[in-house]
Amino acid sequence: MSGSNSPWGSGGGSNGGGKNPWGSSGGGNRGGRGGNGGNGGGKPPTPDLDNVIKGFKTAFGGKGGGNRGGAKGPSGPSGVGMPVIIGGILLLLIGMSCVYTVDQQEEAVVLRFGEYQRTVGAGLNFKLPTPFETVMKEKTREIKQINIGNNVKQSEMLTGDENIVEIDFSVLWRINNLEEYLFEVNDPEKAVQAVAESAMREVIGNHALEGITTTERLSVTTDVKKLMQETLDEYQAGVQVVEVQLQKAYVPPAVVESYRDVVNATQDAEAVINKATEYANKVIPEAEGTALKIIQDAEAYRGKEVAEARGEAERFRLVYQEYKAAPRVTRQRMYLETMEDVYEQADKMILDGESSGVVPYLSLDELKRKGTK
């Protein structure tokens, strides 16, 4: 059978069995003459372009026949096999692009022509084939950490009592709204870091250095977490602040000596204030007690004088009433009472007015003393 139907053209061998794509390697017998007049070991001829194209068509079911085994033309099985295979591969690829899975730690957003459509959770999910719908995944249940204070520019802060403190802290956060996280803020991680540093500076500015380094560390982290969350919610960053951890809070080495001087001065001032307070606590109650005694004595004196004045007035009123009832008797009684008051303490001597010369006298004081014995 002639070899003219080979993809590379005619081989020219006498036995027609040459299978070299570049032509026959010789005649029917080894070393014989080739079909194109070449010697048995001659150089193969250059293939013709039309013969190459014709050979490809024949190999993929085109016209040309002459293949060993009697392969059929375009209407045979080899004519429709390749389009079916290609179509099946395309359908398989399309089907694979419609199905996707989301891990347990993840959530995904579906975009239709680049526009947000929905958020889906973990598991097997479906969508329109690419490029109609695309998927973006993020780990929303993973706790992420940002450390702030690795350099002096970040760590040095001014306290409420105008001291310098170096703060190293960490922020633990996670995604709680994937749509906002992906589309509302350009770089959420940098936003979290910037908000954390700003919030810490604001809170540190409201506390004294001693409290920051000793007893108020928990209060500082709580205030920073609250302020961060409020700010990130305002930005719609889609981030939840899980915890703020204050790692270090210390005075910079460059100002340690100055800080100690300030602390010593503050302690001296407190000692003086405490001493003054102690003295005030002693003197003020004594002064208040003395003042209260004076006030009470004055009130008692006033009450006494007022009562005596009222009594005298009442006595005068009663005497006046008696005087109006019996003027002569009242005058005599008043005279006698007055004389009694005048002579009560005086030394007295009684003389007989009718006697002449020296008359013995009776000492009433001696009689009074004898009567009391």
Selected residue with higher pLDDT from 82 and 314:
314
For residue 197, the tally of other CB atoms under 10 A from its CB is 22
Q: Where are the alpha helices (DSSP H) in 243-326?
A: 256-325
**Domain coordinates of the chain in residue numbers?**
1-75, 77-142, 144-251
Q: 61-75, 158-172, 289-303, 304-318: lowest mean pLDDT where? A: 61-75
Selected residue with higher pLDDT from 38 and 104:
104
**How high is the pLDDT of residue 333?**
83
Percent of the chain past pLDDT 70, that is, above it, reads 71
Class of domain 144-251: alpha beta
> pLDDT class for 33, splitting at 50, 70, 90?
very low
Q: How many Å apart are CA 184 and CA 178, to the nearest integer?
A: 10
Long-range contact list for 63-69, CB < 8 A, 24+ apart? 64/5, 65/5, 66/4, 66/5, 67/5
Mean pLDDT across 320-340: 85
In the structure encoding, which two tokens stand for residue 30, read together?
A: 């080894």
In the structure encoding, which two tokens stand for residue 309, read together?
A: 């004045």
Q: 50-59, 178-187, 333-342: lowest mean pLDDT where? A: 50-59
Q: How many Å apart are CA 283 and CA 238, to the nearest integer?
A: 63
Question: Which run of H or E residues covers position 221?
Answer: helix 217-235
pLDDT, tens digit, for every residue of 120-165?
Answer: 988 888 888 888 888 999 999 999 999 998 787 788 899 998 888 9
**How high is the pLDDT of residue 190?**
94
Measured between alpha carbons, how far is residue 173 from residues 130, 192, 240 in Å? 33, 9, 6
Q: How many Å apart are CA 54 and CA 35, to the nearest integer?
A: 21
pLDDT, tens digit, for every residue of 280-303?
Answer: 999 999 999 999 999 999 999 999
Selected residue with higher pLDDT from 299 and 90:
299
In the structure encoding, which two tokens stand for residue 130, read together?
A: 């690419």
Mean pLDDT across 244-272: 84
Respond yes or no on whether the N-terminal peptide bond of residue 131 is cis (omega within 30° of 0): yes
> pLDDT class for 360, splitting at 50, 70, 90?
low
